[in-house]
Structure 1
Amino acid sequence: MQIEDEISLDDDGDILDTVRFGFPRHCYARTDIFNEMDDLSFFRRFRLQENTVLRLVEQNHLLAFDNSLNNSVSPINQLVTCLQFYDFNVH
């Protein structure tokens, strides 16, 4: 074990700050693929038209959250993420 590691383990102030305030959260800006792509590039990528995806979101009301706690993902981004997952052929 190096000296720097021992010093960092012995610093009780950092440990107490972590216990009191928790670990820092990292919030990343999500890209809005649905609005960034035009119709043709969206169709080439997901094999669905944008209108079809909008209808799917309207029909599935269970994707929506009542509040925005914990930076919840919007229903359209949930569906686009699912389509990306299917596009990669991962199982």
Structure 2
Amino acid sequence: MFEFSIFNFAQISNEILAMIGTFLLTSVKSKSRMYGFMIFLFCNIPTVYLLIVSELWWILATLPVWCFLSIRGLINNYREVVSNKT
């Protein structure tokens, strides 16, 4: 039976945010891709909780790489959005 707990909520929110972020990253428009990277950055909150509770330290150690890639993607797509406005 499904029980409502913080762990289950973190798993569900992590998966839903990851699917939405992936969907937005496949867009042709840079603004949509930018929002996808923003969702991936926000998605790291439940991910960190899940990895700490599950004691998956080796995956947690790779999290800075994913954060860096998300920030770079966000910055690059933001620059493209701003340059397309002018």
The two structures have a TM-score, normalised by structure 1, of: 0.24
The two structures have a TM-score, normalised by structure 2, of: 0.25
Which of the two has higher C-alpha Rg? 1
